[in-house]
Amino acid sequence: MRAAHGPGHNRVVTDQTTAPPAGARVLPRRLSLPDFPWDSLRPYRQRAAEHPGGVVDLAVGTPVDPTPDVARRTLAAASDAPGYPTAVGTAELRDAVIDWMRRRRGVGGLGRDCVVPTIGSKESVALLPLQLGVRPGDLVLHPRAAYPTYDVGARLAGARPVPVDTDADPSTWDLPANGPVTLIWLNSPGNPDGHVLSVDQMRRIVAWARHAGAVVAADECYAELAWDEPWAARGVPSLLDPGVTGTGADGAPDLSGLLVLYSLSKQSNLAGYRAAFLAGDPELVEAVTQVRKHAGLLVPAPVQAAMAAALGDEEHVRHQRETYRRRREVLLEATQAAGLVNDPASAAGLYLWLSGPRRMSALDLVGAFAELGIVVAPGDFYGDAGAGRVRMSLTDTDERVAAAAARLHATDLFRP
Ligand SMILES: Cc1ncc(COP(=O)(O)O)c(C=O)c1O
């Protein structure tokens, strides 16, 4: 048993290191993983469920609006799929990804060898370090306030996860001396904090990474959900933007050492389909694809077809964005009225990143929300940077969001 250290996702649980007595079964040997954080919310969910007006669940961030017709129709039409799908994905899907990256992300110059579909993007966050050959002793950097799976993925590869302030210049990062940085995770727009990295910020990080010999992987799954300027009008920049990557003699982006993860879960309500992709440096994509082939990590053929169709349709994404914009405005106004403060740099994404009065810890805030029948996630699920904060997602129905807003307008639980 190894000692637990610190709250949230840095905590390490059981790790059987002592030899078992002769004849005793050896497996399962537990990996050194954090507790699954959502399990600890159960008492707060129960409390919230007692509210006479019913529960409003703004904790997990799972989409609740219908899957668009274009995806459902295409999935059904592709349901006769007796043979194995290929790991690299159909030409139709890869072309749809390339076209979407050009149209929506301003990234040209991708060939079919620069993209590969994945079974949702969480599996990539968890497995990319292993798939790229990250080893014990390596350092894997990730944002300070972060989706917990960056930490988990580094641990699965035996490496050391190191939270850094990815908003700051990399020259200010305080890194352990013992080990090479081999992988740097960026997440823009960020979960949970909604921060967006500019072209200049990412260019500096890429230059630093290339100098250090590290790969940069950017998780951009909230890129279509920008609320504040300049991002709403201009779009959230991609790691593969030519202003970040630099260009070669042919004017194409220099993709070396760079990968983007993208997911259709949020923009297209396809979380149940597990539909995502990787795009970037063909050498990295090829290394990942080799492992995916050997491990049978294949995106089902009907899902590949549905993904290609969804990527080709912008109307449903526009509609979903407006739905989230409305819910965000309602929740922003109501939380402010209750005395809570959203992170002023939270400009995009699917969450409010709220702090309350100084006296209230993250769990105090979760408890107060539960009194109102509202479930939110404590900030320390996302690392030490989340102390005194909660994450509120925009993913319950309009009717439930309106109910939450009414309760927030009527409460003084968050007053100093
Ligand atoms: C930052 C981030 N990355 C990846 C994922 C995983 O998404 P999916 O596996 O549905 O593609 C999520 C889900 O909430 C997320 O917030």
Q: Domain range for residue 326?
A: 35-66+316-409
Domain count, the chain: 2
CATH number of the domain to which 39 belongs: 3.90.1150.10
Clarify whether residues 368 and 290 are in a common domain: no
Summarised one tens digit per residue, pLDDT across range 203-242 is 999 999 999 999 999 999 999 999 999 999 999 999 999 9
Confidence (pLDDT) at 10: 42
Q: Does the beta carbon of 269 lie inside 6 Å of ligand 1? A: no
Same domain, 251 and 290: yes
Residue 15 lies in a domain: no
Q: How far is the CA of 271 from the centre of ligand 1 (A)?
A: 9
Atom number in ligand 1 closest to CA 146: 1
Candidate of 191, 278, 381 to mutate for ligand 1, largest count of ligand atoms within 8 Å of Cβ: 191
Domain annotation covers residue 229: yes
Of 271, 287, 312, the one marking the end of a domain is 312
Give 16 Cα–ligand 1 centroid separation in angstroms: 30
Tens digits of residue pLDDT in 288-307: 999 999 999 999 999 999 99
Q: What pLDDT is stored for residue 112 in this prediction?
A: 98
List the one residue out of 222, 223, 246 whose CA is nearest residue 236: 223
* Domain presence at residue 44: yes
168 pLDDT higher than 90: yes
231-113-159 Cα angle (round to 5) = 75
108 contacts: CB under 8 Å, gap ≥ 6? 102, 242, 252, 253
Q: Which of 122, 172, 167, 131 is nearest to 149 (CA)?
A: 122
Domain assignment present for 246: yes
Spacing, Cα 95 to ligand 1 middle (Å): 23
In a domain, 1, yes or no: no
Q: Which of 21-25, 68-72, 338-342 has the lowest mean pLDDT?
A: 21-25
The reply to whether ligand 1 has any atom less than 6 angstroms from the CB of 122 is yes
Name the phi and psi angles at 394, rounded to 5. Answer: -100, 20
The finding on whether 276 has its CB within 6 A of some atom of ligand 1 is yes
Summary count for the chain: helices (H), strands (E): 13, 13
Residue with tokens 């060898």: 113
Instruction: Say yes or no: 229 and 173 in one domain.
Output: yes
Please report, for the domain that includes residue 230, its CATH number: 3.40.640.10
Same domain, 263 and 295: yes
**What b/e string do you get for 305-339 counting C-beta neighbours within 10 Å, with b at 16 or more?**
bbbbbbbeeeebbeebbebbeebbebbbebbeebe
Q: How many CB atoms lie within 10 A of CB 277?
A: 27
- Residue that terminates a domain, selected from 257, 288, 312: 312
- pLDDT higher than 50, residue 185: yes
Residue that the structure tokens 């537990």 belong to? 30
Q: What's the CA dihedral at 168, 173, 179, 182 to 10 degrees?
A: 10
Beta strands in 119-214 (DSSP E): 139-143, 160-164, 181-187
Boundary-marking domain end, from 312, 331, 349: 312
Ramachandran angles phi, psi of 278, nearest 5°: -110, 145
Q: Probe ligand 1: pick from 121, 236, 299, max atoms within 8 Å of CB?
A: 121
Q: Is 219 in the pocket of ligand 1 (CB under 6 A)?
A: yes
- Distance from Cα 122 to the centre of ligand 1, integer Å: 5
Phi, psi angle pair for 121, to nearest 5°: -100, -15
Residues 148 and 288 in one domain: yes
* pLDDT tens profile 103-147: 999 999 999 999 999 999 999 999 999 999 999 999 999 999 999
Report pLDDT digits (tens) over 59-77: 999 999 999 999 999 999 9
Q: Where are the beta strands (DSSP E) in 246-327?
A: 258-263, 276-280
Q: Judge whether residue 3 has pLDDT over 60.
A: no
Which DSSP helix (H) or strand (E) runs through 285?
helix 282-295
Q: How far is CA 105 from the centre of its chain?
A: 17
Same domain? 207 vs 305: yes
Q: Residues 89, 216: one domain?
A: yes
Average pLDDT (390-398) is: 97
Q: Which two tokens stand for residue 32?
A: 């050194």
Over residues 270-283, the pLDDT tens digits come to 999 999 999 999 99
Ligand 1 centre and the CA of 221: distance in Å? 7
* Domain identity same for 196 and 283: yes
pLDDT score for 16: 52
Q: Do residues 183 and 303 share a domain?
A: yes
Ligand 1 atom closest to the Cα of residue 276 is: 11
Same-domain status, 201 and 307:
yes
Residues 194 and 302 in one domain: yes
Does some domain include residue 9? no
- Based on the fold, state whether residues 183 and 54 are members of the same structural domain: no
In a domain, 30, yes or no: no
Q: Whose CA is nearest to atom 14 of ligand 1?
A: 61
Q: CA 154, CA 161: separation in Å to the nearest integer? A: 6
